[in-house]
């Protein structure tokens, strides 16, 4: 079955927030990347040091994740800055969950293979809840 994790978007202070969370929960980051780590065709030089993705394990099986919101998306507003991230065990499960949640909602990023080795998509469901659906190919090995 899929695992669910909270995902928080920030307006440029993701690193400071996650350094606090790291000190509070006492764990090390399992992922920490900046926008400058993306393939060059996707980079915005003025945002190179912003956080692309960070993941911090908290408790048993829960991972707190986050990123800075690119300026092109506009500033994040309270309530719009949190998504529920679902990690699935297969592309088929990702498709099933994604399409069911998207019914009556709005797809903001269609499911597709990504440069970081995942099958990933984002949507807002019919009730205004933001979802991220992910299947990591490297875990399938």
CATH number of the domain residue 14 falls in: 3.10.180.10
- Mean pLDDT on 124-131: 85
Token pair, residue 18, equals 């996650």
Domain range for 101: 3-140
Tell me the longest C-alpha to C-alpha distance in the chain: 40
Per-residue pLDDT at 62 exceeds 80: yes
Spatial distance between the Cα atoms of 39 and 127, rounded to a whole number of angstroms = 34
- Decide if 121 contacts 133 (C-beta within 8 A): yes
Task: Report how many domains make up the chain.
Answer: 1
- What's the pTM? 0.71
48 compared with 129, residue with greater pLDDT: 48
For the stretch 83-113, pLDDT in tens is 999 899 999 999 999 999 999 999 999 999 9
């Amino acid at each position: 079955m899929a695992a669910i994790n909270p995902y928080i978007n920030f307006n440029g202070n993701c690193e400071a927030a996650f350094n606090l969370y790291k000190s509070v929960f006492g764990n090390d980051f399992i992922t920490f990347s900046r926008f400058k780590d993306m393939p060059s065709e996707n980079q915005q030089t003025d945002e190179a040091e912003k956080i692309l993705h960070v993941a911090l394990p908290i408790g048993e099986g829960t991972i707190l994740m986050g990123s800075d919101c690119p300026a092109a998306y506009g500033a994040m507003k309270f309530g719009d800055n949190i998504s529920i991230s679902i990690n699935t065990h297969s592309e088929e499960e990702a498709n099933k969950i994604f399409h069911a949640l998207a019914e009556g909602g709005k797809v903001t990023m269609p499911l597709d293979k990504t440069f970081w080795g995942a099958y990933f998509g984002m949507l807002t469901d019919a009730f205004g809840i933001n979802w991220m659906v992910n299947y990591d190919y490297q875990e399938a090995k």
